[in-house]
Structure 1
Amino acid sequence: HDTKARFQTFREAVKKDVCGRAAKVQKEIEFVLAHEEVANIFSDLQEKGELPLRVTHNDTKLNNIMIDNRTGKGICVIDLDTVMPGLAMNDFGDSIRFGASTAAEDEQDLSKVSCSMELFEIYVKGFLEGCAGRLTPREVELLPMGAKVMTFECGMRFLTDYLEGDHYFKIHREEHNLDRCRTQFKLVEDMERKWDTMQQIVKKYQ
């Protein structure tokens, strides 16, 4: 999850515009460009030595947890090929992006898309309890930013793939990646509206 590098890849995709699709997605392109600071924040903090590398999963979606059908309890984490050094905030953020959204990742009706503060709070509580004091105060403080960064990064990747001809993410309909991109950007906007609440929730369990 090198969001800074992903941003540069996106800019190249816009510049080359190999499929001639950039003109019809100017709103989405402008959204990414306006959020360059979000793309850079964790890389910049790492360079300053403020963020430690952790062993991270890097694809912390709910469907990468094996759950017992009878008890409803988690058994283990799966899909371990993505495990590598990374940032705790990114693992947290990817979970929120996927698990606290009120709609499917490819929902076309954006009025259904928001970041549930109820689910966000449940996950913050469980995540911090699971980490059992191992995170630094700076890492905990940046958990909301992790949610925003990972959601933004994913939307940017969907948009990049759309501009490049849908060669990475599997699609099942025309403009599928564009629909995915729009849900992620809607989530980012919703997080920005609820930013104070997200920070207050984290402080509650810090």
Structure 2
Amino acid sequence: MIELLSLVAVARVFEVQKGFRSAKPYGSGHIHDTYCVTFDDGDREDRIILQCINTAIFKNPVAVMENIERVTNHLRSRLGRGADIGRRVLQLISTHDGAGWHVDAEGRYWRAYQFIEQARTFDSVNSPKQAFEAAKAFGEFQRLLADLPPPRLHESIPDFHNTAKRFSAFERAVAADESARDEAARDEIAFARARETLAMVLLGAGLPERVTHNDTKLNNVLLDDESGEGLCVIDLDTVMPGLAAYDFGDMVRTMTCPEAEDERDLSQVAVDFELFDAVLRGYLGGAGSFLTAPERGSLIAGAKVIVFEQGIRFLADFLAGDTYYKVNRPEQNLDRCRTQFKLLSSIEQQEDDMTGLLRALA
């Protein structure tokens, strides 16, 4: 936790009101230190989001911020000057020197965003409408960035969705067995190896590179408090070159099963087809016509690949002794892996119906 006086000093580096009122931790994210800072100049109250970037995960914070500046500027230019533009695109607040971020005396990287009022995020899906609205927002996000001018965006995390490399890392973890856990995960190791070919399904498909979000969870879309409309895509740290199917796959992974990611009762874990229908319709509605026919045809494969990829990441971390994902109990990463593999099995079982729906909507 960063001291209040330090937060006040950092906040005042940015173009904000002078009447500091309060600062408190904000949101449910686990990567950055995020605060809601309130100012009051006597006439009105203003809130900003102040974030200290986690440079252990994002090792090139300048590249991350350059991506965010380019993406948000382009989104704003594509959306025009509508009255609601301030709620539909994240707005970075410049420092007094005109920079988009600040480096403090300890070498910490900071950024500030305007707070978007009368909107909120949700950590789990409560209805098909929520899934539809979030997926539509992500589809529109991809569509609006499809004509982002060169140069190519930085890769904020290189090989983030290189599933073949993820599979190789999993196999190395099995071979090393550093925590003597192989026996506990014998069935999961066999499940993963039986689906090794999934690792190359998208990489070898010759699909066009797009600007993708790469973390398309429900809680990365702000939904309007009154209408429930998907207003603004947030958490842009992983926006970089990728495949459209990556983003769609992560929507299926995170929005079509209401159960917890570490649910132990696997009988409760399955893709809800009604939620899948909502995600697919929302995404295609937001994406519009920019997707090519091969990209549309890759979406179900994208769901399988991303769920598989996340499963082997959890499994590899379990085998390595829980060195990457935080855990609250010894087998939590194994439980996370099991839920992903159960979701993958559910997709496999419903794949014909999913493909039929996709063809009907394409």
Structure 2 unaligned spans of 5+ = 1-160
Cα deviation for residue 68 of structure 1 reads 2.6
1:103-182 pair list within 5 angstroms? 103-182=259-338
Distance 2:356 2:169 in 1: 34
Distance 1:40 1:191 in 2: 18
**Which letter does structure 2 place at the counterpart of 1:11?**
E
Distance 1:69 1:159 in 2: 38
Of residues 54-63 and 100-109 in structure 1, the stretch that sits farther from structure 2 once superposed is 100-109
Question: For the Cα contact (< 8 Å) 1:58–1:91, is it kept in 2?
Answer: yes
Matching residue of 1:37: 197
CA offset digits 1:81-110 (Å, max 9, x no partner): 000000000100000001001421111100
**Same amino acid, percent of matched pairs:** 49
| CA-based RMSD | 1.0
Matched, 1:18 2:178: yes
SS at match of 2:204: helix
Q: 1:184 aligns with which of 340, 343, 353?
A: 340
Matching residue of 1:6: 166
SS at match of 1:104: coil
Cα deviation for residue 170 of structure 1 reads 1.2
CA offset digits 1:5-56 (Å, max 9, x no partner): 10000000000111110122110001111111111111122xxxx2000000
Distance 1:159 1:69 in 2: 38
Aligned residues: 202
Distance 2:164 2:217 in 1: 22
Matching residue of 1:99: 255
Distance 1:124 1:70 in 2: 24
**Which letter does structure 2 place at the counterpart of 1:52?**
P
SS at match of 2:201: helix
Cα deviation for residue 115 of structure 1 reads 0.5
Matching residue of 1:198: 354
Question: For the Cα contact (< 8 Å) 1:113–1:183, is it kept in 2?
Answer: yes
**Which letter does structure 2 place at the counterpart of 1:2?**
N
Of residues 75-84 and 97-106 in structure 1, the stretch that sits farther from structure 2 once superposed is 97-106
Cα deviation for residue 70 of structure 1 reads 3.3
**Which letter does structure 2 place at the counterpart of 1:205?**
L
Distance 1:54 1:68 in 2: 27
SS at match of 1:28: helix
Moved over 3 A (4+): none
Which structure has the highest strand share of the two? 2
Question: For the Cα contact (< 8 Å) 1:102–1:112, is it kept in 2?
Answer: no
